Amino acid sequence: MPSLPTLYRGREGMWMWVVHRVTGVAIFFFLLIHILDTALVRISPEDYNDVIGSYHSPIYGIVEAGLVAAIIIHAFNGVRIILVDRWTWALRHQRLLSWIVWGIFVVLMAGFLPRHLGNVFGGA
């Protein structure tokens, strides 16, 4: 039985749109916090060290890994959006491009995660 038609077109394009929004909102709110905590360097270096010290904890280390993941996917999906808008070939192959974005994501995270998690869990 065919499913009822909906507003949603489904498949890669729609899911990348959802991913772009969700990661964008997450990065925006992190940016607000990041500016406020960094502002402490001007107000109190001691307090800055206390606050940034919590960034070195395992929980924050995992949150940071998620943040970097969100930035990577948002950045390269943004490139895909620009290409799809500007270039007919990319428009025809936007599904393939979605998977290329995830491929880049996997490669970059494979380079980043061991180094980052080593710094978080292995360091003093």
Q: In this chain, which of 10, 28, 88, 110 binds another protein, going by CB under 8 A?
A: 28
Closest CA to 22 of 10, 14, 34: 14
What are the tokens at 27?
């990065």
49 is a contact residue toward another protein (CB under 8 A): yes
Distance CA 31, CA 24 (A): 10
Q: Which stretch binds another protein (CB under 8 A): 10-18, 64-72, 93-101?
A: 64-72
103 is a contact residue toward another protein (CB under 8 A): no
CB contact burial 43-68 (16+ within 10 A = b; e otherwise): eeeeebeeeeeeeeeeeebeebbebe
| In the complex, minimum distance from the CB of residue 44 to another protein, in angstroms, rounded to a whole number | 8
Cβ(95)–Cβ(12) below 8 Å: yes
Task: Using the minimum distance from each CB to another protein, give the nearer residue, 53 or 95.
Answer: 53
Cβ(14)–Cβ(8) below 8 Å: yes
106 is a contact residue toward another protein (CB under 8 A): no
Chain residues in the site for another protein (CB under 8 A): 2, 4-5, 7, 21, 24-25, 27-28, 31-32, 35-36, 38-39, 41-42, 45-46, 48-49, 52-53, 55-56, 61, 64, 68, 71, 75, 78-79, 81-82, 85, 112, 115-116, 118-120, 123-124
